[in-house]
């Protein structure tokens, strides 16, 4: 589509006129395209428009709604402000929707008493991200399951429930390329170490390799099944937590190989030739299920099992056999949805609904446990292994809130915490990613928006 000029997209009268002439969805598409091309305050407009469609049930009323009134509230409660260091507002209303209701329903819905006076619309050209944010991307129209920053810090990749995999410029906040998978639920994504490829994991089990600059698929193949084919008696009782939230892929240190886990099998692929070079098969005496995996060298894969206790198996790829075996005691709740290794491979960090746990891989007893878990896949470990981040919904006396926390490793000492509503986040966050510098953390919101938090120097 032809992208409107930046000046038009930052003109409230142009936005209102386009909405009246073409409808809400056409306006949203135009502004999202502008946000991808220009970034900055145009992204603020795209975020505000996206906020108007939540909850999804109101989407059919948006063509005739009072969008000027709705946008006034959306800007006041979003991630941007002309006073980025000032307080944000949580106040909103539904009065702006009434013109979009059918006449019979409109009469049945009384106007607010007294009538809502919306806040003044800001100067759109002066909008900046609220502190401590420094960049925002309107990435997708549905929930984001995964995000990762490239090792050089130049770009970020995000994967969504809507089937998109997108690559973003970390400096400008603009889109580099978007790949459309043709199926829903892309569950995870990584960037290869050389920055040339993106690898995505689909809920269906398909693994897709994309060219990063163009997001044209290079290859695709099926991952091993998450359903065990072995008799139930061969599998010990394990930890609870969604299978679809486990990290099923790992890259070798030289970036040349990819390991992909199923319930009973790990396939190892050569990424240059896109050939399967090994299949690691769990023996009958070993419990099935993989919580996490990583390469300890270019020729050795380590898997963390999902049974109780957690088996740590080291596999030699050449002989396709287990050469070392250890155990980790499960956390008190026995609930783990996501687990990650520190880059030095010394510590495992795992989180479930209600707690986060750290182990040394050479000791069965946890180093630290805290009573704060994750929403979705919202667990990240920094490139230097010094920080972890979690995000989860927590219940307080005045209601529930989504709390983002940054922890020191390995002791899980809390360094920072924020209520995501203060960032303009209108839903849970299901994915997190540290930038390589350890001073920026990307928070992927379920409403389709990615926000980058600036972390205070340690």
Which residue ranges make up each domain of the chain? 6-129, 332-458
| Pick from 83-87, 161-165, 239-243, 250-254: least confident | 83-87
| Cis peptide, bond prior to residue 114, ω within 30 of zero | yes
Entry pTM: 0.93
> Over the stretch 71-123, which tens digit does the pLDDT of each residue have?
999 999 999 999 887 666 656 788 888 887 776 555 555 555 567 888 999 99
Q: How confident is the model at residue 298 (pLDDT cuts 50, 70, 90)?
A: very high
Coil, strand or helix at 304: strand
Q: How confident is the model at residue 326 (pLDDT cuts 50, 70, 90)?
A: very high
What DSSP string describes 255-300?
A: S-EEEEE-SSEEEEEETTTTEEEEEEE--TTSPP-EEEEEEEETTE
Q: Which residues pair with 35 in a beta bridge?
A: none
- Give the chain's mean pLDDT: 91
DSSP-derived letter for residue 120 is: P
For 105, 222, 286, 299, 413, the CA distances from 278, given in Å and listed in that order, are 63, 15, 19, 11, 40
pLDDT higher than 50, residue 302:
yes
Please provide the CATH number assigned to the domain covering 332-458: 2.130.10.10
Give me 386's structure tokens. Answer: 């010094």
Average pLDDT over residues 430-438: 95
Q: Measure the CA–CA gap between 208 and 351, rounded to whole angstroms.
A: 27
């Amino acid at each position: 589509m032809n992208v409107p000029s930046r000046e038009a997209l930052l003109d409230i009268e142009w936005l209102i006129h386009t909405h009246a002439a073409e409808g809400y969805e056409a306006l949203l598409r135009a502004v999202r395209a502008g946000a991808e091309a220009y970034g900055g305050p145009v992204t603020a407009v795209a975020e505000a428009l996206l906020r108007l469609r939540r909850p999804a049930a109101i989407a059919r009323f948006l063509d005739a709604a009072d969008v000027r009134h709705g946008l006034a509230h959306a800007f006041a409660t979003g991630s941007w402000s002309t006073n980025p260091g000032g307080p944000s507002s949580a106040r909103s209303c539904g009065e702006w929707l009434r013109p979009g209701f059918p006449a019979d329903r409109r009469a049945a819905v009384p106007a607010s008493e007294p009538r809502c006076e919306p806040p003044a619309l800001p100067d759109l050209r002066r909008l900046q991200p609220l502190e401590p944010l420094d960049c925002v991307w309107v990435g997708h129209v549905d929930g984001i399951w995964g995000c990762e920053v490239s090792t050089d810090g130049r770009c970020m990749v995000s994967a969504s429930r809507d089937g998109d995999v997108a690559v973003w410029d970390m400096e400008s906040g603009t889109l580099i390329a978007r790949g459309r998978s043709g199926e829903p639920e892309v569950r995870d994504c990584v960037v290869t170490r050389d920055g040339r490829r993106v690898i995505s994991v689909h809920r269906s089990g398909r693994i897709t390799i994309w060219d990063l600059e163009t997001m044209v698929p290079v290859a695709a193949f099926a991952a091993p099944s998450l359903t065990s084919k072995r008799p139930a008696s061969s599998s010990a009782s394990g930890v609870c937590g969604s299978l679809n939230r486990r990290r099923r892929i790992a890259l070798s240190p030289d970036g040349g190989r990819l390991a992909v886990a199923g319930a009973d099998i790990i396939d190892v692929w050569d990424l240059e030739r896109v050939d399967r070079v090994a299949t690691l098969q769990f023996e009958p005496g070993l419990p099935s299920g993989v919580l996490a995996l990583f390469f300890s060298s270019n020729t050795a894969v380590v898997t963390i099992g999902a049974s109780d206790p957690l088996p740590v198996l080291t596999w030699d790829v050449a002989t396709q056999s287990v050469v070392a075996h250890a155990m980790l005691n499960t956390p008190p709740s026995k609930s783990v949805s996501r687990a990650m290794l520190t880059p030095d491979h010394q510590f495992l960090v795992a989180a479930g609904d209600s707690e986060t746990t750290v182990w040394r891989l050479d000791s069965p007893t946890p180093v630290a446990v805290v009573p704060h878990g994750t929403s979705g896949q919202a667990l990240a470990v920094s490139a230097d292994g010094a920080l972890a981040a979690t995000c989860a919904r927590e219940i307080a006396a005045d209601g529930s809130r989504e709390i983002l926390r940054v922890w020191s490793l390995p002791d899980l000492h809390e360094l920072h915490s924020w209520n995501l509503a203060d960032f303009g986040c209108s839903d849970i966050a299901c994915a997190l990613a540290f930038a390589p510098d350890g001073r920026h953390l990307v928070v992927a919101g379920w409403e389709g928006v990615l926000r980058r938090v600036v972390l205070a120097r340690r």
